[in-house]
Structure 1
Amino acid sequence: MANFLYTLIIYPLYEIIECIYVFFGKVTYNTGFSVIGVSIGITLLCLPLYAVAEKWQQIERDKQKAMEAQLDRIKKTFSGDERYMMTTAFYKENNYNPIMALRSSFGLLIQIPFFMAAYSFLSHSISGSFYFIKDMGKPDALFSIGNFSINILPVAMTLINIVAGAIYTKGFKFKDKAPIYGMALIFLVILYNSPSGLVLYWTMNNVFSLVKNVFYKLKNPLKSFYIMCCALLIPASIFVLLKAHTKMMNRLFFLVIVIGIYCLPFIVKLISKLLDTKLYYLTEHKKERHTIFFLSSVILWLLIGYVIPSSLVASSPIEFTDLTVHSNPQFYINNTFIQAAGFFLFWALCIYFLFSKRIQTIFAAFMTALALCAIVNTYIFVMNYGDISNTLKFLSCEDFGALSLASLFNIILSIAIFVLVFIFLKTGKIFTYINSILLLVMAAVSIGNTYKINSSYIDYKKNYAQGDASKVEPIFTLSKNQPNVLMLYLDMAQAQFVEEQIKENPDFNRQFSGFVNYPNVLSFNGHTIMGSPGCYGGYESTPPEMNRRSDIPLVEKHNQALLTMPRIFNEQAGYSAVITDPSWPNYKHFCDFSFLEPYPNIKGYQTVGNYYRLWASEYKDSVIPDNSDKILKRNILFFSIFRASPVVLRKLIYKNGNYWNTDESMENGKSSLDNYSSLSLLPRFAKIEETSNGSFVAFINQLTHENDAMIFEAPDYKPVAKVTKKGSSRFDNNIAYHTQMASFKLLGTFFDYLRENGIYDNTRIVIVSDHGGEHQEDCFEKNDDLDRAITGGQYWGRGHYHCLLMFKDFNASGDLKFDNTFMTNADTPSLLMKGLIENPVNPFTGKIIPADTSKIKENGVYISAADTHQPSNNGKYTFSIKPNQWWHVKDNIFKAENWKQEAPY
């Protein structure tokens, strides 16, 4: 219950404080000024609340003063029950209830949740020095007497608080003064040994309170305060626009706020006129006003708190399953639902009912327009930002289109919605009906998403939940005397890095001796679902060929691709066959090995995730805390706000995937470590012995795809909690390069293990990836128009289709070589089977897989640029590829002239 109340009441204020802190941090680049900025921001946000509190307090003081003489007479004349009865009758006669006395304490009461939120944030979220404060995360300890430190800031805070209280309570009775002075002393005790950053915040609060109290004593405090603010904004604007070291977007955002403040008088006049005309009926009819505000609040609550989070998780439930102690992803949706309730129900309703009917009418109209805009932004302005990780970072998106035709249209439509709401919100009935319908639709969507998530979770737990191995046992056999064939599949590994990797680590020439690297290599799509089948099944499993066989479901064709090499090696050559962690088996995002059931001689194993805890217990120095729980509990709400916001604000909200977070410890590397631990255990997964037949192993790993996760420690490229060396490569800050270097380091160790056991020479190996990265590569001939036409500006550059292909034949040796022959990742089966199996036949199509694929490629190949990376994005039988999403590529892929927009049929 305590956690529920904290999430509902305090957490919204905590996040507001955090966002204000980050904003001022970006403007000033100074921790102390950021704390002062928080104080300014909270003071300004609370001014309307303080104004209401002051009004109520004054009403209470006037009422008490009016009743004072008669109450004194009752006290003098009567006693006991008679005094009680006479006092009660007098209160009734004056329409007064003793509980109304709480109105005099309202100014203090509203400070409590803000203090708790500030304490929660500032007591452990900041550090650094600020003028005479050496460490904002500790008490100031400016003076010492022996071993006893004296903190000056809390004392200064208390003195300022007392002065502010003295000015405010001038002329008040002692009973009205006592609570204020008492609170000042209580805060002195509470905050004396608190971090100086927190005390600085509260000290500045008291300074601003002192200023506020001075203004309250003026004839027209609000007008005077506004004039002062406008005057102070002039130097502040000059500083931000000309002197502050911050991005132009931040400056423009600040400028918009300043312009809005200067326009306030005109806005107030316009609103006042609307209240007297268009919104008059709603102002005078409480029921309709309350209903429309409540329904709009519930829409925002349901949309941001449940619909968007559940749609996110429902798109791929298993990606959010078993990440942390909360195995069921439904937990994070429910948590976000409570967080959103704090914003859009608890605090929205509290603030709404504090104000007069005219202000309530404005709130009702604004909330209605806001709810409609949020729905429009969510479902019309979806935008394609590409893949997103389970920690809510987009894997490739750099340009959010903040300034684009779509964002301009979005702004115009949002303005139109606000105008239409104010025009048609005469009685509120039409929007009551609209809101009710929207709520029913969203409830239906929520139920559908919940059903899908929980069904997937139950299925996962029942049949395929990853285990927790207690020891490493061999899962495949490599022969000492027979041929071994290995396909090492590194998801999203990139050919562009290989040359740089060898420069940085020349020992790769020895470890990868005999290998040939093919830089001029192409994938058939930029996503696993279309890019990987060719790796497994060859050219008959590429998008154009899979679409030709339109009478067979895609999922079946995908499973056939996964089985092509294991079946051929096992059934046509008598090899043992093993596949680990296959890509999209049965179009599931987890290791569903049911597709192997008709083929008992083919073994399947899940290695990713199963061995992490065991590995972590052996390599404690490499263990990085799993922060998935913290990240998801915080960022899903911000992701929902991101989706429901105008396009122009999304980049600002996303903020490089941090979503305005200040907790640097929330970086997460669990997914990377799941894959790293699997790849590092390769030598222990292998049993080496003399056998009567050969061995085929397809080992799949996604460490190179976890490019949102972590930088590794050079030169060994091992995971550490704090990286101090990033290496000497020109890609030293590129996370994808780091994951690939780490992968190659582990593969190099595995190849050394094969040499030590005398089986490197009788082992044929292909290292291949399903697609490349998401960015332009400088090895391509520059042509922005071509890249834009191919990728639509989403996955910028032809590098998205530039995969990795490396081949080592039996008994090959010598330094790693480079061969610029035009290749594709669909050459993998031919490379691995060449000379081992005479005329290998695809068991599903009956066609021979040629040893020489040059004729297939002599006139080029057709690839798909479609961004359909989930099974649900495609049809049942064919990939959803538009005619303008087919590209014909031939010969040298680095030349722009060799890319033509052309359909295969």
Structure 2
Amino acid sequence: MNFLYTLIIYPLYTIIEIAYTLVDKITHNEGISVIGVSIAITLLCLPLYAVAEHWQEVERDKQNKMKAGLGRIKKAFSGDERYMMTTTFYKQHHYSPIMGLRSSFGLLIQIPFFLAAYSYLSHLTDLQGESFLFIRDMGSPDSLFSIGSFKVNVLPIAMTLINCISGLIYSRGHGIREKVQIFGMAAIFLVVLYNSPAGLVLYWTFNNIFSLVKNVFYKLKNPLKSFWIFSCAVCIPVLIYILFFFDTKTAYKAIIVSAVLLVYLIPFILTAVKFLFHKFLTPLFEHNKTRTTIYLLSCILLFILSGLTLPASLISSSPIEFSGIGSNPEPLRFLIITLMQASGFFLFWPVCVYFLFNKKVQTVLSVFMAFLSISALLNSFVFMLNYGDVSATLTFLNSVDFRSGSAVSILNLFVIAAFFVFTALTIARLDGKIFTYSFAIICFAMLALAVTNINTIKKEYKAFVASGSLNEVEIEPIFHLSNKAKNVVVFMLDRSESQYIEEMFKESSDFKDIFTGFTFYPNTVSFNGHTFMGAPLVYGGYEYSPLEMNRRNDELLYKKTNEALLMLPRIFTEQANFRAVITDPSWSNYSAYADLTITEPYKKIDGYQTIGKYSTAWYKTHSGADNLDNTDDILKRNLFFFSIFRESPVILREVIYMKGKYWNSNGDVTSYTNVINNLAPLDFLCELTDFSDSEEGSYVCMVNELTHSSVYMQAPDYVPVQNVSDFGTSRFSEEEAYHTNMAAMKRLAKWISYLKDHGVYDNTRIILVADHGRATYEDCLEKDDELDEKIAGDRYKGRGHFHPLLMMKDFEAEGTLKEDMTFMTNGDVPSLALRGIVKNPVNPFTNKALPLDTNEIKKDGVVVTSSDVHQAWLYKDWYTYKIRDDQWWRVKDSIFKASSWKRENIKD
């Protein structure tokens, strides 16, 4: 049943949802939006109703021709003889009783549309409590008045009266059978819809009104021409109202006016189609097999591309991010759902529509579908563009320039137009064979690409399961700090922002008494805007900057990254009396999950995964949070839309994306899966930490990505809730990233208080650092739009992407937070961590000395890169980062001054 619903009803449900959302976005009126849906569905069904009317006329004519003969048989015969004579009579007239269904075709068409509208409008939360005209609440029956205790719903009664009037006009001159069908269906709709939400009944009432208008015009001599003239006349006051009285955005006015003007162009469009048909498409019209093969292969290609190839490509880019979501952790299930959705959109309904129409219409449909599939391929692979990282809910993590009006958008339209002309002019002249062969080959190629990506997903998911990420675990200490010896703890908070610190301390006055002894370094730069190139320096220092990594061009990149991840643990355990713990190492072995095998050769280094490991335990300890995350529902709904986004022309993508909602009118796009996966280990920090009288020091490096997420949380404790009512008092309170950064700091504050309570704070050095900042403009930076545009990489805007958090609390440090404007980088972390512990530290992998004073290295500034390469697993066989000449920058002295950023000419 679920498959049948997805195959038949879901495409119509989606069309209704898009129509409602579009009208609501323009008018901001729920009642008008419901009427807009009715108009859209009526227009969509007009061709189907025309076909239905044709087949009904054919059936009526056939019945009239056979009426006299059947009457004679009925009068002269009975029993088996009547049955045999009737069967023979039908054969003589090339008729089968099943053909009688043609008279009911008009009613049958309404059923799936009714079910789709009922499924959507009866559960639409937008209608709850909303009034329209005399309707007090469109989410409930209208109950306009009562007779005693019986509530009278006026809308269903009005709907039925209109339906009956429409039926009387339509069935004039027709047989009693059709009249019974029409009035019987009207009665059924009255019973079914009487206690339904008024919004749904309003939709069906206007459907009946439009049906009444349609039936009136059908009785005229030239119904189509008459209806067009009537529509043109109606459009005049509509245009006047839209242009001079309707209050909405100019862009929306342009859309409405364009749609209205299109009505006047219908005769010209039909003339152009007829010319195209007679001039170029006649050979295709005459070859049934070729025409149908082209159409079906085009549908199959769109089905594979939308339902399998593009979704599989997306999931394979980060399989773990799509794992462990909902009740079924397997990421491939999302492909099954998307395939089902695509089968309805590109197989079931297109095939049904194709075989409903005559050969002329089939010919035009074949050309259109062939062009649509070619366009989808071009947009998906030639004009795919790079919009940045995508979250598990298919929202872009950074502000995106969709380039809707750019040169590439215009080029895209030009290429699409060129291929349309090519398709229209050649599809018939080439006898269609090139198209059939080409489409068949492309279908196999898309299928092969999908299979390759599916294998990648299965492999990564298998490793993810083997890591124990899906197992429920007990919370036991993994960080063992010493009461006597020194401890060094580094928190690498992915994408944590330096600009928020001052506001955090203003908003939470208790931070002043908790973060004692800390020094904040605002003037800190990162070496890249992504973890891929920005994180290795945090762990390994300046030897692992992008420039220095490239100079070691005889070693694989992932091995150099592994060195950086293990350098500090090895120095602490081999050159000092320490044990070491690292968690969730960034891109270890260039794996998408925390590959801890890199620690296995070293007995005094322990590796743990914390991200995602404690989520189940977190939900158990937070009552009411079970239904917090809706990622599963969002993915089931939006993954198919993401394929449509990729297949669409560049100019339409921002409209389809719709700020991450993809025309979802009834859902929240906020995902808490990744948030809880990272929040849980920070919430359990105290439980994960214990203390001993060991003479060995402890080095801990914990990686956490909560600060990489962007969701609103409930202040003042910054906890995830479905409906945030308190956004805090910070000037950044409307920025989602501030909320997740604040949530992380709140948990760290709790842990610091825990250390103080156990007397371990003074002998513990704590460093808070990020691998990079966020891709936004920061008002603490000197404004220079031209510089930001140049340094943006392929899509990021703003030097804020290179502005990471750096804070440190040294041994025995006291006092309130200090601010130090010394020029720093996140590559200073290893030197800060080792200072005073190892006198002359040496990198055990390269045997190079690690400087404890990095001022000499920074005296002429540092060289960073704006390269946008960031998916590490794609580059496991690479020896160097691929960085263009114009992507190297030297930053010196103050990162806040625009003059401190200069392009650097790097010579090989």
Q: Is the structural similarity TM-score above 0.5?
A: yes
SS in 1 for 2:890: strand
1:262, distance to aligned residue in structure 2 (A): 2.4
From 547, 556, 562, the counterpart of 1:553: 556
Taking the aligned partners of 2:523 and 2:233, their CA distance within structure 1 comes to 63
1:241, distance to aligned residue in structure 2 (A): 4.7
1:245, distance to aligned residue in structure 2 (A): 4.7
Taking the aligned partners of 2:768 and 2:627, their CA distance within structure 1 comes to 28
**Structure 1: which amino acid aligns with 2:281?**
L
Q: Which moved more, 1:363-372 or 1:122-131?
A: 122-131
C-alpha change, 1:255 and 1:139, in structure 2 (3 Å) is same
Q: Judge conservation of contact 1:630–1:666 (CA < 8 Å) in 2.
A: no
1:88 corresponds in structure 2 to 87
C-alpha change, 1:344 and 1:225, in structure 2 (3 Å) is same
Q: Which moved more, 1:498-507 or 1:479-488?
A: 498-507
SS in 2 for 1:576: strand
Q: Which moved more, 1:841-850 or 1:784-793?
A: 784-793
Taking the aligned partners of 1:633 and 1:156, their CA distance within structure 2 comes to 38
Q: Judge conservation of contact 1:487–1:765 (CA < 8 Å) in 2.
A: yes
2:330 corresponds in structure 1 to 328
Q: Judge conservation of contact 1:27–1:245 (CA < 8 Å) in 2.
A: no
2:756 corresponds in structure 1 to 755
1:33 corresponds in structure 2 to 32
SS in 2 for 1:687: strand
1:249, distance to aligned residue in structure 2 (A): 3.7
2:867 corresponds in structure 1 to 866
Taking the aligned partners of 2:442 and 2:478, their CA distance within structure 1 comes to 53
Taking the aligned partners of 1:23 and 1:228, their CA distance within structure 2 comes to 25
User: Alpha-carbon deviations, 1:453-474, whole Å to 9, x = none?
Assistant: 11222232234534212x3211
Q: Does 1:319 align with 2:321?
A: yes
2:494 corresponds in structure 1 to 491
Q: Judge conservation of contact 2:393–2:670 (CA < 8 Å) in 1.
A: no
* 1:183-332 equivalence runs, <5 A: 183-332=185-334
Taking the aligned partners of 2:571 and 2:669, their CA distance within structure 1 comes to 46
1:21 corresponds in structure 2 to 20
User: Alpha-carbon deviations, 1:800-854, whole Å to 9, x = none?
Assistant: 1111101111111222121111110010111111011111111111112111101
* 1:845-860 equivalence runs, <5 A: 845-860=846-861
SS in 2 for 1:276: helix
C-alpha change, 1:625 and 1:240, in structure 2 (3 Å) is farther
1:149 corresponds in structure 2 to 151
1:873, distance to aligned residue in structure 2 (A): 4.9
1:229, distance to aligned residue in structure 2 (A): 2.3
Q: Which moved more, 1:241-250 or 1:270-279?
A: 241-250
User: Alpha-carbon deviations, 1:82-112, whole Å to 9, x = none?
Assistant: 2222222222222211111100000000111
Q: Which moved more, 1:216-225 or 1:636-645?
A: 216-225
2:818 corresponds in structure 1 to 817
1:484, distance to aligned residue in structure 2 (A): 1.2
SS in 2 for 1:599: coil
Q: Number of residue pairs matched? A: 901
Q: Which moved more, 1:416-425 or 1:426-435?
A: 426-435
From 124, 139, 142, the counterpart of 1:140: 142
**Structure 2: which amino acid aligns with 1:206?**
N
Q: Judge conservation of contact 1:889–1:898 (CA < 8 Å) in 2.
A: yes
SS in 2 for 1:34: helix
User: Alpha-carbon deviations, 1:680-720, whole Å to 9, x = none?
Assistant: 1111111022221111111111111012xx20111221222
Q: Judge conservation of contact 1:518–1:820 (CA < 8 Å) in 2.
A: yes
User: Alpha-carbon deviations, 1:280-325, whole Å to 9, x = none?
Assistant: 1111221111011111111111111111011111112122111222
Taking the aligned partners of 1:193 and 1:847, their CA distance within structure 2 comes to 80
Taking the aligned partners of 1:623 and 1:494, their CA distance within structure 2 comes to 30
* 1:523-542 equivalence runs, <5 A: 523-542=526-545
Taking the aligned partners of 1:48 and 1:131, their CA distance within structure 2 comes to 32
Q: Judge conservation of contact 1:609–1:675 (CA < 8 Å) in 2.
A: yes
**Structure 2: which amino acid aligns with 1:26?**
K
Taking the aligned partners of 1:623 and 1:78, their CA distance within structure 2 comes to 71
1:630, distance to aligned residue in structure 2 (A): 0.7
* 1:330-349 equivalence runs, <5 A: 330-349=332-351
Q: Judge conservation of contact 2:661–2:669 (CA < 8 Å) in 1.
A: no
Q: Judge conservation of contact 1:27–1:244 (CA < 8 Å) in 2.
A: no
Taking the aligned partners of 2:609 and 2:703, their CA distance within structure 1 comes to 10
Q: Alpha carbon RMSD of aligned pairs, Å?
A: 1.5
1:465 corresponds in structure 2 to 469
Taking the aligned partners of 1:725 and 1:463, their CA distance within structure 2 comes to 38
From 654, 657, 663, the counterpart of 2:657: 654
C-alpha change, 1:243 and 1:835, in structure 2 (3 Å) is farther
Taking the aligned partners of 1:141 and 1:23, their CA distance within structure 2 comes to 29
**Structure 1: which amino acid aligns with 2:543?**
E
Q: Does 1:518 align with 2:521?
A: yes
Taking the aligned partners of 1:622 and 1:338, their CA distance within structure 2 comes to 31
2:2 corresponds in structure 1 to 3
2:116 corresponds in structure 1 to 117
Taking the aligned partners of 2:134 and 2:183, their CA distance within structure 1 comes to 28
C-alpha change, 1:551 and 1:160, in structure 2 (3 Å) is same
1:640 corresponds in structure 2 to 643
Q: Does 1:451 align with 2:455?
A: yes
1:371 corresponds in structure 2 to 373
Taking the aligned partners of 1:33 and 1:862, their CA distance within structure 2 comes to 58
Q: Judge conservation of contact 2:469–2:613 (CA < 8 Å) in 1.
A: no
2:569 corresponds in structure 1 to 566
User: Alpha-carbon deviations, 1:253-282, whole Å to 9, x = none?
Assistant: 333333333222111001111211210111
User: Alpha-carbon deviations, 1:425-475, whole Å to 9, x = none?
Assistant: 122222112212211211221221122211222232234534212x32111
Instruction: State the percentage of identical aligned residues.
Output: 52
1:246, distance to aligned residue in structure 2 (A): 4.0
Q: Judge conservation of contact 2:395–2:660 (CA < 8 Å) in 1.
A: yes
Q: Does 1:618 align with 2:617?
A: no
Q: Judge conservation of contact 1:39–1:201 (CA < 8 Å) in 2.
A: yes
1:624, distance to aligned residue in structure 2 (A): 4.9
C-alpha change, 1:893 and 1:390, in structure 2 (3 Å) is same
1:131, distance to aligned residue in structure 2 (A): 2.4
C-alpha change, 1:812 and 1:650, in structure 2 (3 Å) is same
**Structure 1: which amino acid aligns with 2:18?**
C
1:236, distance to aligned residue in structure 2 (A): 3.2
Q: What TM-score do you get using the length of structure 1 for normalisation?
A: 0.98
**Structure 1: which amino acid aligns with 2:120?**
F
User: Alpha-carbon deviations, 1:529-588, whole Å to 9, x = none?
Assistant: 111111111111111111111121111111111111111111111211111122112111
* 1:29-108 equivalence runs, <5 A: 29-108=28-107
1:441 corresponds in structure 2 to 445
SS in 2 for 1:717: coil
Q: Which moved more, 1:145-154 or 1:887-896?
A: 145-154
**Structure 1: which amino acid aligns with 2:773?**
G
1:623, distance to aligned residue in structure 2 (A): 5.2
Taking the aligned partners of 1:451 and 1:677, their CA distance within structure 2 comes to 31
1:391, distance to aligned residue in structure 2 (A): 1.1
**Structure 2: which amino acid aligns with 1:847?**
K
1:700 corresponds in structure 2 to 703
